Amino acid sequence: MSITHISPAVRGRQLVEQLEHLLQDFIRKQHVTHDEYRVATDLIIDSIECGEKSLLFDVFFEAEATDVANIGREVSPEAIEGPFYLPGAPVLTGPLNVMPQRPHEKGTPLYFHGTVRDPGGNRLGGIELDLWHADADGLYSNIHPNIPDYNLRGRFYSESDGTYQVLSILPPPYEIPKNGPTGTVLRALERHFFRPAHLHVKLRDPAGDYEEMTSQLYFAGGEYVENDVAHAVRDGLLITLKNIDNLDRIAALGLDRPYIEAEYDFTLAPA
Ligand code: MBD
Ligand code: FE
């Protein structure tokens, strides 16, 4: 809100100039040598060339940018997108959507559901949910090798009563690749490499009446929730999981074993 009266061009110039001065001061004050400077630029080039995309930056800085986006925000909070979103995921068929997966996809079945509403509490049908997450080995399709394209990436729509439901598997904590440039930096800092288990989801309104948003949901009490290497967990993004072993409920979802239920309601901002 506060910066909308500045044109993007002026805003861009102000940001770049301030960052320029910040880094110039840093180099002078820290006596950064020419060799050290080149180590830094090589690291950035390597991280992109080896396919880590924005991982290096997202681990260190994306959470701050989403905190800024959430200042004064009264609808569902935004969260970091991370480096591994991919547009064009398969469109699923509801009302019980099933995420694209291999025939015997490893992992505990996950039933993720909830309701999409406007700020007045009215239920919103026809909202697209674009969901992506890691497999049981903590790997993302289209990023890590030997996984079918778009595995565990899918798009589906809220029903006319605003509800959505999708079947997938529960992802484990995510480990930042140890052998890449981002891993090298984390090792040098003596940090661990883990993010808590999470679901990424974008919501968009094909009719254009509501703002697109990017969320990321974590599981209360899970490993690394309290010490995410990307420091991105926030209260409004935590889901309490339920273990479901009732045979009727298992059968109703077409499953053959106990599953985990995760519920999260979204409120969208008018466009
Ligand atoms: C992820 O899945 C992610 O969400 C972030 C921010 C960084 C690395 C991997
Ligand atoms: Fe992720």
Q: What domains lie within the chain, and their CATH numbers?
A: 33-267 (2.60.130.10)
- Over residues 232-268, the pLDDT tens digits come to 999 999 999 999 999 999 999 999 999 999 999 999 9
* 109-117/259-263 β-pairing: parallel
Q: Which two tokens stand for residue 59?
A: 């681990």
Task: Return phi, psi of residue 233, to 5°.
Answer: -80, 135
CB-CB contact of 82 with 133 (8 Å): no
Per-residue pLDDT at 178 exceeds 80: yes
Would you place residue 3 in the very low, low, confident or very high pLDDT band (cuts 50, 70, 90)?
A: low
> Counting runs of H as helices and runs of E as strands, what totals does the chain give?
6, 13
Please give the pLDDT value at position 4.
64
CB-CB contact of 156 with 94 (8 Å): yes
Pocket of ligand 1 from Cβ distances under 6 Å: 55, 58-59, 80, 82-84, 174, 195, 230
| Predicted ipTM beyond 0.95 | no
DSSP letter assigned to residue 147: S
Ligand 2: centre distance to CA 57 (Å): 14
Ligand 2: centre distance to CA 209 (Å): 28
pTM, rounded to two decimals? 0.95
